[in-house]
Structure 1
């Protein structure tokens, strides 16, 4: 089972059982000061069972539950602002046997103190029973107000991957004025993670459309397909950034592993950039502390507009990008981002040796690097267009290595060098 402030995930019946759902939801109840909780789920086979257990646990603890049924994660974040709290039954982009719980407090994910309360072993005592209500969302209307209706009618192909986005994304795009066709409406039509899947059907058919979008099962991730080519997750974030700048936003927060291309574009257009640790919850936390107006996480294609939603919002992002179709800036940004090459690999390192290995690595790099940042692992700034990031995994016995450069051969060489140094540091840490 994976436990982090981004949520709890596991394989249903193996490491995530109904007893776990009961305990976590009972512990969540005292954190809900409003005594109201919006609840929804994506399209996983185990959702109904887990949702009913979660609802029962919250009702038992005196929480009024507003049940939205099958909806995307961004919709739940939006509705949770109104209720004061929210719970999403989802495992995002994990395989179908997985499921999980994603908690929302005051429109954001829980902080460390709140999450520690959710994880505690001792269960909260019953107070009085709450009431369950059927609920519907105004998400589409709210998103339309932010984006604005379009004067042209772009042709959009939407790959919903059998996920919860199928209930909202096409509706939003059509309301904006797009002509929309939908594919892969079955849950098993492709892999649950569009950043990893080849998106074969969308790629093959996209040339007949202005642009294509592919969503994960809970709709917080979106991947762009343009002119028969699947674009990188960083491209999704970069395109969202264009629209944010057009809307007048100037201060952005980007995760440490987001492409330097996104940062360069923001700065070249009068914006400022703050960097955060990797992970949606960390980006949101930094956004709130630094009062950032937009940003996100490049590795997951996660654009975040906190004014609207304090989460990755793939559905809103698709609308923002669709509103720019027909403009040269989309092709220009895609080309700009493609000039940078990101390489990712991982090395097996025991969790209890993660910190010691990274400490040894820093000692080796001090004499060789112009700048080292230790906000999240070890980030080495090699020059204006090249960096490497070495981070420990919070859930696995691995250390992750990311490298980016505007020169592919240079990136490959640096990846090889950094990998060797990490292996040496690991050996010395033993």
Structure 2
């Protein structure tokens, strides 16, 4: 497995592609980029570094911190922290950049460096290209002994993150507390192990049960919060007779909810429900990505607002949110972005919005007080996903996709990110992976049977026209 380089940084398997040499070189490249962005030759960049709970995280953070200080950067280490917490810390410290040591929902043997700009947001495409150019040429800025940077420990940003969430005008802790929620939390032994239960306590949740919240970093299951990985969590939810379960991924930028009956609320619908609630408090446009459910568009329309779609990827969604002055947005994988808090996917913000939305709904209709009942107010769409591995990535791939699309004149076509065909009752999105020779096929329809059939149809179309493995 080769080192995977994308817009958010580098990732790989520790001891294989993610070697100490690669980690140091990438850190030096980032330090050099920040020096180039400085006002003068005496500029000393300030960097915030945080990590999730993976066993390799502390060693990598220490290595990266040392490399950055030797390149003349001052480092603030916020310790074990969620991705959104590091983003908030980077902006709060008025730092010039940030580094998050996390491979998000990848298995435990993986790790990564995710890079932030001075606003605590992922680097834009221009900065990424500059960074990669420096990395490949190995032309690094290093400090002499007089200008080696400093290292400072600041491990109090969990509290600041929670304080900012509690300060949101739409959050009413007393109203949440009145519902006397009994909640199960599954943090998969990741960075949310302490902060998620503490946030729920401060939001007024009466009873909190936890599983995999010791912060060991040894994931007891596949850490991606998908239905097939949450069987034991569902069993625990039912045994403990909780109102619902809150599930986060290792770096807490994705939120999944499990209803009292063991059904998943749906990661796609976390954003839908949060947006529906938030638009009542702060009307405005919303943004998702091109592979997200049409339900968000329906909810926005109900509020007299417009939903815009961006290319897949958090940085792309944030760009469109800023262009459209959106009040809320995110990606369909449970990643909720609330600009009032910060421009980054934040499961903690999502938890607060969901608790408030559910509390208000239960207050209005006490007889129908389950999360599964709450979910029924939203339109049902069903998604299917397929992928096809390409023999190589042909230069004319987009042209071939357009040829396939031309057979469907009744569909409106979007070519921003691969190709998306919008039909009156369904859609298909076909896009190449940024990191692998793979085409991903996403479909959505009014039934799972139809969504799966649509995905199979386009899988056959692609296989008949494009060289695949």
Question: TM-score over 0.5 for the alignment?
Answer: yes
Separation in structure 1 between the aligned mates of residue 312 and residue 291 of structure 2, nearest angstrom: 7
Superposed, 1:259-278 pairs within 5 Å as 259-278=293-312
Aligned to 1:150: 174
Q: What do residues 205-243 of structure 1 show as CA deviations (whole Å, max 9, x unaligned)? A: 334222211111111111111122123210111122123
Equivalent of residue 203 in structure 2, options 173, 176, 182 = 176
- Aligned Cα RMSD in Å? 2.1
Number of the residue aligned with 1:130: 149
- Per the alignment, residue 286 of structure 1 pairs with 320
Partners of 2:82 and 2:463 in 1: how far apart? 41
SS of equivalent to 2:90: helix
Deviations 1:26-82 (A, max 9, x none): 111244457211111001111111101110111112221111111111100111112
Deviation at 1:321, TM superposition (A): 0.7
Match of 2:340 among 300, 307, 312: 307
Q: What is the TM-score with the length of structure 2 in the denominator?
A: 0.86
Tell me by how many angstroms 1:413 deviates. Answer: 2.7
Q: How many residues align?
A: 426
Structure 2 residue 403 is matched with structure 1 residue 363: yes
SS of equivalent to 1:311: strand
CA deviation vs aligned residue, 1:321-344 (integer Å, no higher than 9, x gap): 112234259646623557211000
- Is the aligned partner of 1:389 residue 2:429? yes
SS at match of 1:161: coil
Structure 2 counterpart of 1:297, from 331, 334, 343: 331
* Distance in 1, Cα, partners of 2:330 & 2:230: 23
- Aligned partner (choices 85, 90, 109) of residue 97 of structure 1: 109
CA distance in 1, matches of 2:377, 2:413: 26
Q: What do residues 120-143 of structure 1 show as CA deviations (whole Å, max 9, x unaligned)?
A: 232322232111111121111111
Stretch of structure 1 that moved more, 220-229 or 119-128? 119-128
The equivalent position to 1:402 in structure 2, one of 422, 442, 446, is 442
Q: Retained in 2: the 8 A contact 1:109–1:281?
A: yes
C-alpha contact (below 8 Å) 1:191/1:197 kept by paired residues: no
How many angstroms apart in 1 are the aligned matches of 2:388 and 2:76?
Answer: 44
Alpha carbons 1:251, 1:272 under 8 Å: kept: yes
Please, which moves more after superposition, 286-295 or 370-379?
286-295
Q: Which of 9, 14, 30 is matched with 1:7 structurally?
A: 9
Give the corresponding residue for 1:50. Answer: 60
Give unmatched runs, 5+ long, in structure 1. none
CA contact (8 A) 2:296 2:307 kept: no
Quote the residue 1:316 is aligned against.
349
> How many angstroms does 1:95 deviate by?
0.6
The structural deviation recorded for 1:148 is 3.9
Which 4+ stretches in 1 moved above 3 angstroms? Answer: 30-34, 328-333
Moved more, 340-349 or 204-213: 204-213
Question: Do residues 118 (structure 1) and 152 (structure 2) align?
Answer: no
Pair 1:200 & 2:231 matched: yes
